[in-house]
Amino acid sequence: MDPVQILSSVGGVALSRAVVAGGANESAIRSAVRDGSVVRLERGVLALPGADPELIAAKRSRALLTCVSAAPRFGLWLLNPAAKPHYWHSNGKRPQSCVSHRMPLTQPRASGAVAALPDVLLHALLCLPALESLVMVESAYTRGDIDLGFLLRHLAGNRCGKARNVVERVERGADSLLETLARILFRDAGISTETQVWIDGIGRVDFLLEGFLIVEIDGLAFHLESRQFKKDRRRDNSAVVQGLPVLRFFYDDVVYAPDAVLAQVREVLARGSLRWPQPNRPGFEAFGPGNWR
């Protein structure tokens, strides 16, 4: 098999022995190196010209990218980028400036330079602050890419208690990182929080707090000139006509000023509402997990 094809299939960089295992013989590899279609980075490491430097660095360290460093490779939600590379190591080189993970892999050893998604998530759960790992796991779970039971089975033991607590808070239904952050913010504050609630005459709202306060989250893609802007404002008007107050928050609010968000929410909740639909009222249906205090 062509070594270029093999390298392309694993992200552009691999150990020489993995390329051979993939079906390329030594003669084909030497020929590809001579004609420049493959680069021998060092003894035992091959790459395509222009291969990703992050993957090259991992493979030169005889490591796999994992945890927060691998999150972008799987399109996972990410609260904070990696300050230094996170590697899974076995018995290879270990650079000084990295976060090293050595938990045994649950998936077959990758021939490329990135750990498999289940291992990336397990490493994140045992490494990152709770909120940062939660958004990664929730984004994969929402897409149907991971089974929470699988994660819990590999998080047995006293040292994994915090990680299990994070997994138990993961839900489906959030459309974005911001909705996950907001849900956790409200529930940690002891506020009754329903997610993805349908209200007749208004439609589906992101959150319903304490049974009457609608909260909507506008992400980075929000545009003032869009049709969605007009639609959302008309929805807000319909909510007010029904006696339901509405608060809207943006990316900067949720990520950088959560205390200010809570202060505004609590102020409106403290005022109460003269009238609001009851949970058993027709046309008022929560599609999320319901109240969680």
- The greatest distance separating any two alpha carbons of the chain, rounded to the nearest whole angstrom, comes to 81
Q: At residue 61, what is the residue type?
A: S
Note whether 28 and 111 are same-domain residues.
Answer: no
Note whether 81 and 32 are same-domain residues.
Answer: no
Query: In this structure, is residue 237 part of a structural domain?
Result: yes
Q: In this structure, what CATH number is given to the domain that contains residue 256?
A: 3.40.960.10
Q: Which residue has the tokens 């349908």?
A: 198
Query: In this structure, is residue 98 part of a structural domain?
Result: yes
Query: In this structure, is residue 24 part of a structural domain?
Result: yes
Task: Say if residues 65 and 105 touch (Cβ distance below 8 Å).
Answer: no
Q: What is the pLDDT of residue 287?
A: 44
Task: Say if residues 96 and 65 touch (Cβ distance below 8 Å).
Answer: no
Note whether 218 and 187 are same-domain residues.
Answer: yes
Render 81-128 in DSSP notation, one character per residue: --SS-EEEESSS---SSSEEE-SPPSSPPPSSSB--HHHHHHHHHHHS
- pTM as predicted: 0.82
Q: Which of 168, 200, 220 is the last residue of a domain?
A: 168
Render 156-167 in DSSP notation, one character per residue: -SGGGHHHHHHH
Give the integer Cα–Cα distance in Å for 204 and 211. Answer: 14
pLDDT tens-place values along the chain, 293 residues long: 899 999 998 889 988 988 998 899 899 999 999 999 999 999 999 999 999 999 999 988 889 999 999 999 999 999 999 999 999 987 655 566 889 998 899 997 666 789 999 999 999 999 999 999 999 999 999 999 999 999 999 999 889 999 999 999 999 988 899 999 999 999 999 999 999 999 888 888 999 999 999 999 987 655 555 666 666 767 777 777 777 899 999 999 999 999 999 999 999 999 875 444 444 444 555 444 433 33
- In terms of C-beta density within 10 A (0-12 exposed, 13-18 middle, 19 or more buried), how is residue 159 classed? exposed
Residue ranges making up the domain that contains 41: 3-51
Q: Tens digit of pLDDT for each residue in 54-64?
A: 999 998 888 99
Note whether 161 and 75 are same-domain residues.
Answer: yes
Q: What is the pLDDT of residue 272?
A: 78
Q: What is the pLDDT of residue 238?
A: 73
Query: In this structure, is residue 282 part of a structural domain?
Result: yes
- In terms of C-beta density within 10 A (0-12 exposed, 13-18 middle, 19 or more buried), how is residue 138 classed? buried
- Provide the token pair at 224: 């003032």
Note whether 206 and 245 are same-domain residues.
Answer: yes
Note whether 228 and 271 are same-domain residues.
Answer: yes
Query: In this structure, is residue 239 part of a structural domain?
Result: yes
Residues sharing a CB contact under 8 Å with residue 60, sequence separation 6 or more, in sequence order: 41, 42, 45, 93
Query: In this structure, is residue 57 part of a structural domain?
Result: no
Domain count along the chain: 3
Q: Which of 119, 142, 168 is the last residue of a domain?
A: 168
Query: In this structure, is residue 274 part of a structural domain?
Result: yes
Residues sharing a CB contact under 8 Å with residue 120, sequence separation 6 or more, in sequence order: 66, 67, 70, 71, 74, 76, 114, 136
Note whether 143 and 80 are same-domain residues.
Answer: yes
Q: At residue 13, what is the residue type?
A: V
Helix (H) or strand (E) holding 174: none
Note whether 85 and 12 are same-domain residues.
Answer: no
